[in-house]
Structure 1
Amino acid sequence: MRAHHRNDVDTLTDVIYEGTTDMTEGAPTTARLRDVLNRAGRVVIVEASPDEANSADVAQIVVTGAEIADLARMLAIVDGGTGDRCLCDGWPTIMVHDATGELIACWTLHHQSGLRGTGDCDADLRDGPALTEWLAERGLTGSREVQAELAVQEAEEDRRRMRWLQGAPAGLRDAAKDLAHPPGDDLEAWAGQLRDVQARLATLIHHCHPDAIERIRVLLAWAGIPAREPGGGLKWYDMAVQQQLLAEDPDLILAALATSPSPAQLDGAAQLFGSLDWTGAHGRRLPEPVRSLLVGHIQAAGTDPMRFRLRHGYYA
């Protein structure tokens, strides 16, 4: 492996953060990007982030001649940019050299769908999949492999969300569907919509289940769904249900579990009583008979995370 040259890496880092000459100000546009590529003698594309671009063992291609114009078409962006910058370093790295060999631009792809370095913020590609295929046809298959992995993950996320929606109580499914809607590019707007839906959900659950004990049991069963998900963890929609439970009287929650709780309700109880919100306010210990019911459930049919928490002093 060829050793990294610190000066080379510093040059790349400087260019990627300072931007292309005359492009450090203003929003990114396709016209500005093509102006740079019109001055290119060669373009080196490396399947690595800028700080690894000089490594000898990473795949790379050199684009020259008419293929630079092809690349320019593939790199067309949505004018104006996103107004934001991704926190990751990004890859592949695209290094543009002029006819004398001088490095005049260094851009990075982000999530195979955005481009950095063409203005004062990142910009979405007009056709990320087309660029991915263009690179793969020339031997750089990393982006295509990542896209395939992301597609698998997205499909599983959709299936997980559908399982949660199918478990939503009657009368709450429309609100649940809105609550489970994935975030878009405008996270601030999405967060505002999420708060509105959570408030609507609280109103609906009280309307559909005015009796507190019944309402808590319904929420516990719903809150138990993520406990059986193979990936573990809580999504934003799972946490919204947990917040509804945390808004209930804790003594009534314990009362709702004291008499013949279902396995699904005990799953929800394990999630709730293991949460930082609950333990921070009420501690880890549970009163009888809830303690014995929950411990027995975990010992008989609990998940690994439930058993882990039990071994480390939760519930008991």
Structure 2
Amino acid sequence: MTSEAALGEVLRSAARVRVTNGGVSGVRVLGEDVLLEVAEPAAVRQLIQALAVKQTTDGYCMCHGDLAFEFFDRSGRLTAAVGFHHATYLRWSGWDDDATLCDGGAVLRWLAEQGVEGPLAQEEQRQWERHEQRLAEQRWRAAAPAAVSDLLDVAVAAGSTDGLLPEGIHRLVAQRLEEAIPDRVERAGLMLAWFGSGTGRCSGFPVHEALPEPALAETPIAYLIQAMQVYPTDARIDAGAVRHLCGWKTRKQQARDIAKVPAELRIRLLMAARESGDDDKRRRAERWLSTPSRHRQR
């Protein structure tokens, strides 16, 4: 019998299942909130089928799991306790490592059919967020100037490792852009458009999106203003300007620089922030752009 099939054999005698929030450690259930108990034979067998795994992995998920499934035989004896991890892995004390589920979604659908809809809704939300993250990364890559295209993978990879961009990469970006785009207004416009792509958030954004930020910070405000005036219809430039000017300590003389932005441009940027659907960005823009005399980040 393969190790993957061992759990199925153990569960042949299961007559009842209890589902609890939180995962398992060995055979100990870590959560206290019981979400569901099922003793209907067909439903129990359906769950066991949904918990089928492809193969064991070479390691453990770093958490204890989202849910615990405790299976009991007809006498009430615990036959197995398994941890359910992110609709992807299953943990059982009979395996040395976690196992990959054949179809984690089948488990979530089973729970929803039993009236526990939260885990399925949460997974659908996570899938939507992952999809949006992929789209944001695609936009960010597409907006990047060709002169730095070979640095993009390095920056993106930093987000899945230590979260720090490699030392010297910001200086290299600034140098490459200066050499490739000598016109300072054009360069400012391209950097704003790049910075305005991706998620566009002022905080909580992927680390790679900060790649052009230091070069923008060193760009005199006059060139940023000219870029906004020269390219009045590029929404990415407006988004990048809001993100840069209204972010946290993005310029050495942030308040003074914003005070130099003409009123009509401040109105345009404020409108862009309000139309973005991002409440954090809107609040920042209203704080910085609405009244020049009150430009203070709080």
Task: Establish whether TM, by shorter chain, passes 0.5.
Answer: yes
CA 1:65–1:144: 2 relative to 1, 3 Å: closer
Give 2:278's aligned residue.
Answer: none
Whether 1:268 and 2:240 are equivalent positions in the alignment is yes
CA 1:241–1:114: 2 relative to 1, 3 Å: farther
Give the Cα separation in 2 of the matches to 1:81 and 1:116.
12
Q: Give 1:224-235 correspondences, 5 Å limit.
A: 224-225=196-197, 234-235=205-206
| Cα distance per residue 1:34-57 (max 9 Å; x no partner) | 46435x443414264453443xxx
User: How many residue pairs end up in the alignment?
Assistant: 269
Q: How far has the Cα of 1:71 moved from its partner? A: 1.2
Whether 1:30 and 2:7 are equivalent positions in the alignment is no
Give 1:8's aligned residue.
Answer: none
Q: Give 1:1-316 correspondences, 5 Å limit.
A: 30=4, 33-34=7-8, 36-37=10-11, 40-46=13-19, 48-49=21-22, 51-54=31-34, 58-62=35-39, 64=41, 68=45, 71=48, 74-76=51-53, 78-86=55-63, 90-91=66-67, 93-98=68-73, 100-118=75-93, 122-135=98-111, 141-172=117-148, 176=152, 187-188=160-161, 195=166, 204-210=176-182, 214-225=186-197, 234-246=205-217, 250=218, 252-259=219-226, 261-262=228-229, 264-278=236-250, 282=252, 284-287=254-257, 290-292=260-262, 295-299=266-270, 301-303=272-274, 304-310=282-288, 313-314=295-296
One-letter identity of the residue aligned with 2:4: T
Residues 246 and 285 in structure 2, CA contact (< 8 A), matched pair in contact too: no
TM-score (norm 2): 0.64
Residues 195 and 240 in structure 2, CA contact (< 8 A), matched pair in contact too: yes
Structure 2 residue runs without a partner (length 5+): 23-29, 275-281
- Root mean square deviation, CA, Å: 4.5
Q: How far has the Cα of 1:76 moved from its partner? A: 1.6
CA 1:144–1:285: 2 relative to 1, 3 Å: closer
One-letter identity of the residue aligned with 1:113: T
Q: How far has the Cα of 1:274 moved from its partner? A: 3.0
TM-score (norm 1): 0.61
Identity of aligned residues (%): 21
CA 1:146–1:154: 2 relative to 1, 3 Å: same
SS of residue in 1 equivalent to 2:255: coil
| Cα distance per residue 1:148-187 (max 9 Å; x no partner) | 333433333343334334433355557557755897xxx4
